[in-house]
């Protein structure tokens, strides 16, 4: 259950992207190894994703492993990949039963073969699911994605496109099948995007929680959603313009 009002539910974001930060610090503060924090972080993934779908948010994207994370110690990276494989194998049945489609963005070729195979098999098996959408950003970096999109666009257009617009260019991004995120949540109190969905987040609302990811439970998630529903998304317009636009829409659809 949650304490979102009927009015809150009308204003929910369609797409929430989460930077899951603080697993290692959470573990170290308890005198445990960093992988202990990552394992608890994976357990929290299950809880938050389930909560999001129960509440009615159709798109969730999780920043699971960045290109910069490749610089971490080998033992930690191996442990993370094993946790990823374990999570996907354990959750496949639930994904199929709940109608969840898995996607991945990032360079999967930079993952160990066993982890890449687990991701690709889960993507293939859930491809026909249409109710909910879970995207994992794995070995992902937004700058790298943008450079690849520029190369893809240049190759396709062969220099003939004279009026490039966002719709055309965004079709070359890895998120082309996803709506832009409405809300980006970052845990652990850090105020930065860390090379995550830099173009797609152009008009996203941002919520920063002081809680480390393993402590960011359903109540904290609902608080972030309530905060979002109380914001006015202007997209460059003034508040008066938004009221005028809303009145025009109401007059067309009484």
- Residues with a catalytic annotation lie at 21, 69
CA-closest candidate to residue 45, choices 67, 28, 32, 62: 62
CA-closest candidate to residue 182, choices 60, 41, 25: 60
Residues with Cβ within 8 Å of residue 58, at least 6 apart in sequence: 14, 15, 131, 132, 133
The Cα angle at residue 148 between residues 201 and 205, in degrees rounded to 5: 5
Place of tokens 């687990």: 118
Q: 143 to each of 18, 57, 66, 77, how far by Cα in Å?
A: 18, 27, 11, 22
Q: In what order do the strands lie in the sheet with 59-66?
A: 100-105, 132-140, 59-66, 15-19, 183-186, 205-208
């Amino acid at each position: 259950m949650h304490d979102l009002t009927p009015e809150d539910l009308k204003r929910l974001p369609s797409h929430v992207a989460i930077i899951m930060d603080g697993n290692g610090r959470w573990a170290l503060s308890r005198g445990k190894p960093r992988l202990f924090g990552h394992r608890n972080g994976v357990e929290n993934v299950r809880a938050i994703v389930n909560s999001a779908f129960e509440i009615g948010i159709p798109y969730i994207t999780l920043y699971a492993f960045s290109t910069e994370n490749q610089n971490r110690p080998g033992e930690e990276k191996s442990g993370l990949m094993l946790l990823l494989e374990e999570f996907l194998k354990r959750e496949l049945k639930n994904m199929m039963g709940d109608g969840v489609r898995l996607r991945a963005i990032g360079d999967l070729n930079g993952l160990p073969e066993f982890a890449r195979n687990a991701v690709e098999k889960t993507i293939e098996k859930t491809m026909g699911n249409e109710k909910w959408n879970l995207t994992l950003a794995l070995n992902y970096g937004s700058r790298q994605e943008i450079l690849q999109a520029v190369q893809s666009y240049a190759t396709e257009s062969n220099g003939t496109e004279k009026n490039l617009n966002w719709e055309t260019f965004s079709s070359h991004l890895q998120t082309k099948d996803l709506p832009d995120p409405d809300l980006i949540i970052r845990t652990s109190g850090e105020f930065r995007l860390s090379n995550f969905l830099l173009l797609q987040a152009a008009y996203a609302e941002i919520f920063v929680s002081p809680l480390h990811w393993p402590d960011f439970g359903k109540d904290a998630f609902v608080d972030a959603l309530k905060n979002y529903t109380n914001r006015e998304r202007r997209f460059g317009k003034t508040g008066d313009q938004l009221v005028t636009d809303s009145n025009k829409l109401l007059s067309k659809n009484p």
